[in-house]
Amino acid sequence: MSKFKKKSESSQDIPTAALPDIIFMLLFFFMVTTVLRETELKVEQRIPRAEQLVKLEKKKLVTYLYVGAPKDKSLGTESRVQANDAFIGIDGIVNWVSQEKSKLSENERDQITISMKVDEETKMGIIVDIQTELREANARKIMYAAPTKAKDN
């Protein structure tokens, strides 16, 4: 005679065996889609939004320049240019571009795109200087990175 337990099972009816799988799937999803930040941003970055954005074609051919006021206030409030973890001066841009170009293969070199992430408070003076230096270094394809602006109408 089996005694039936009067007390019903406590309410753990949700089959919980699948939950670790869900967590792993989420983890892999985020590992794949988000980008671990390679360079530590040393400048303020509130980038203005824009509508007419074009996606980058080849991620390999892109290199980033960050422009903005330094996060460390002791370095002043004037906008600085950061490339690959360190501040570079305007005159260092040409050398930096040739360094980046040398990381690519010969025929890809002239397709290098410089993506500039500029803080909204930056003044145009430094931007124009950077553009002049990029022209000197023959890196003519540039892109002003921006998040999408929601269309008002």
Partner 1 sequence: MARSKDKGSQEVNAGSMADIAFLLLIFFLVTTQIATNKGLTLLLPPKQEDDEPIEIKQQERNLFKIQINSADRLLVEEEPLEDVTQIREMVYDFVLNFGAPSDKKKGKAEVSDRDVYESLPGSMRGYINRNLGSSESSDGPGAAIISLKADRGSSYDIFISILDELNAAYNKIYGERVGLTDEEFRKLNRNDPRQKELYDRARSGIPKAISIAEPSTVGG
Size of the site for partner 1 (CB under 8 A): 51
Instruction: Give the residue from 58, 71, 56 showing the smallest Cα distance to 116.
Output: 56
Please identify which residue in 48, 60, 99, 111 interacts with partner 1, judged by CB under 8 A: 48
Residue 110 has φ and ψ, to the nearest 5°, of: -85, 0
Q: What type of residue sits at position 142? A: I
Please identify which residue in 4, 20, 72, 74 interacts with partner 1, judged by CB under 8 A: 20
Cα–Cα distance between 113 and 144 in angstroms, integer?
Answer: 10
What are 83's strand-pairing partners? 86
Please identify which residue in 28, 39, 57, 71 interacts with partner 1, judged by CB under 8 A: 57
**3-state SS, one letter per residue, for 88-113:** ECHHHHHHHHHHHHHCCCHHHHHHCE
CB of 4 to partner 1, least distance (A): 14
Footprint on residues 109-148 left by partner 1 (CB under 8 A): 113, 115, 118-125, 127-128, 131, 134-136, 138, 140-148
Tell the residue number behind the tokens 């999803």, with chain if given. 29
- Name the segment binding partner 1 (CB under 8 A); options: 56-64, 69-77, 85-93, 97-105: 56-64
Residues that bind partner 1 (CB under 8 A): 12, 14, 16-17, 19-20, 22-23, 26, 30, 33-35, 48, 50-57, 59, 62, 113, 115, 118-125, 127-128, 131, 134-136, 138, 140-149
